[in-house]
Amino acid sequence: MAVQWKGVFPALTTKFTSNDALDLPLFEKNLEAQIEAGVSGIILGGTLGEASVLTVDEKETLVKFAIDKIKGRIPVILNIAEGATREAVNQAAFARKWGADGLMLLPPMRYKSDHRETVTYFTTVANSTDLPLMLYNNPHDYKIEITLDMFDELVPVKNIEAVKESTRDVTNVTRMLNRFGDRFKILCGVDTITFEELAAGADGLVAGLVCAFPAETVAIYNLVKAERYAEALALYRWFMPLLELDIHPKLVQYIKLAESKVGLGSEYVRAPRLQLAGKEREQVLATIDKALASRPVLPEDALVTV
């Protein structure tokens, strides 16, 4: 299925049972809620998906299960986050074999590659597959920035089609548009600057709190793209305390707690992560409960995709 790289792409959490197995029925429940809300695609195996503690067999199960349940309604994207170029190429081949529609690709993990090494890494992986790629630009967490000069060198690599823009610098959207026009689709990758980057011209967003609040996330996207800014801002301001859960080191636990509260997930995580406890859990839960108590009624047409 062709990937358009616009709209809302949830970075889905991986659901686990109490005995640390994949919880596929709960995964399916969340998946259907995302599709019903109008998301444009899903991303598996990202940070929120706890990819670093998933086996290859588990990734295969998740991809194939999602494809089977989605039945062509939206594309399935697999994230690749590897330290070795060879392993990233292998993961791209697996994704193609399993039936994924596209890839999200991080720079090399652990080693801080320089300009030449980073461009070579992306080019090598992209040239190994015919799947479309979205690069993940997140120097805040992964210490390597994909600079504009790097993108200049990646322009000829046709299947590098998009970027998950997570530099946390809103003006980078404008810089990308000024330099490259529509060559690369731009998706906001930080929940707390969703409105700002969409208003600046981003084509979509890769979201975290959408896992628990799919309708509200899609509504903000649609309202901004329809230039209904006042309505979008009102919803965005209500959403902000929740969106801030996405920029914390424990975003997985925080967002899974939110999913649990709305009936779209559970709190189970895989070690070394532990479920929230004590005052920390109470504080996060208070944020979630306060938002749920004032959850707005969405405009009737806010889920009609623009």
Q: Does 1 map to a domain? A: no
299 within a domain of the structure (yes/no): no
What are 169-185's pLDDT values in tens digits?
999 999 999 999 999 99
Closest of 123, 121, 202 to residue 165, by C-alpha: 202
What would the pLDDT profile of 1-56 be if each residue is shown by its tens digit?
899 999 999 999 999 999 999 999 999 999 999 999 999 999 999 999 999 999 99
| Catalytic pick among 6, 15, 59, 136 | 136
Is 271 domain-assigned?
A: yes
Q: What is the pTM of this model?
A: 0.97
Task: Find the catalytic residue in 6, 15, 59, 164.
Answer: 164
The boundaries of the domain holding residue 61 are 7-293
136 is catalytic: yes
Look at residue 150 and tell me if it is in a domain: yes
Structural domains counted in the chain: 1
For residue 151, the domain's CATH number is 3.20.20.70
Q: What is the pLDDT of residues 65-91, one digit of tens each?
A: 999 999 999 999 999 999 999 999 999
- The reply to whether 303 falls in a domain is no
